[in-house]
Structure 1
Amino acid sequence: MKKQPVLITDAARSQDAQLRSRQIRYVSMMAVRAGCLILGGILISAQVPLLPLWLALCALGMVLLPWMAVLIANDRPPKSKEERAADQAAREDVRRALEEPRPAEPEHVTIDSEIVEDPEEGYATRRRGD
């Protein structure tokens, strides 16, 4: 018998594992729906007592189960307290960032210079403008 590994983290289940469990729930609910259809056919041929009640229950299962299966299959697991707290903190950070006034942009300083030939030195130098 294969042993399951010990869980040492509180990380959420992977997306693939969540999808697989939702697929299994969906298929099992659709199997129950098919069972309702088969059971309804058997009940009609067997002529059991309270037949209208049993047929109504089977019909109700065949109508409601697909709707419930789709809702359950599309639902993700509930968030933990830590995930909800992290989401709230992220929303609070965004709200604060949007409310903070932007700092004024600094005035850009332009430095003007010109190239001057220095006859004594023999090369061109830059002189700052006034």
Structure 2
Amino acid sequence: MGRVTSSRETSNEPVLITEAQPSLGDQHAARKKRYVITMGIRIVSVVLAAAFYQTVWLMAVFAVLGTILPWIAVVMANDRPPKKKLDVNRYRVPAPDRILEARPSSGRVIDSEP
């Protein structure tokens, strides 16, 4: 029976793990964490707005912060990481152990035309 090879095994290009995107689960967990932190800050700002009701300007600052933070939290939660720009010339330079050395010239010129 023959061995089944995948396209990765037959490809000459190396697989660059360091440039791989984070998994969708990791991205989702990071976005949930940012959302929870932002909404926690919102709760604190609403409580502080209620606590500083006698200082109008401070209460207004905390109230505005508590009002706009849900919008900011949703925008941040729906945002995904930016795509990485790939360097198209990264495989052009061969590794030093793969460079072929030139043969020494014999000093003769060979004419290939008859």
TM class, shorter-length? 0.5 to 0.7
When normalised by structure 2's length, the TM-score is: 0.58
Q: Secondary structure at the match of 2:83?
A: coil
Aligned to 2:38: 29
The code of the aligned residue for 1:39 comes to L
Residue 76 of structure 2 corresponds to residue 72 of structure 1: yes
Larger radius of gyration: 1
1:63 aligns with 2:67: yes
Question: In percent, how many aligned pairs have the same letter?
Answer: 39
Q: Distance in 2 between matches of 1:69 and 1:62?
A: 11
Structure 1 stretches of at least 4 aligned residues deviating more than 6 Å after TM superposition: none
Alignment deviations for residues 86-128 of structure 1 (CA, whole Å, 9 cap, x no partner) = xxxxxxxxxxxxxxxxxxxxxxxxxxxxxxxxxxxxxxxxxxx
Matches of 1:18 and 1:42, distance apart in 2: 36
CA distance in 1, matches of 2:36, 2:78: 13
Q: 1:13 aligns with which of 22, 26, 38?
A: 22
Aligned residue pairs total 72
**Structure 1 vs Structure 2 CA RMSD:** 1.8
**Greater share of strand residues, 1 or 2?**
1
Counterpart secondary structure, 2:52: helix
- Larger proportion of helix: 1
Q: Does 1:41 align with 2:41?
A: no
- TM-score by length of structure 1 reads 0.51
Q: CA deviation at 1:54?
A: 0.6
Say which structure, 1 or 2, has more relative contact order (CA 8 Å, 6+ apart). Answer: 2
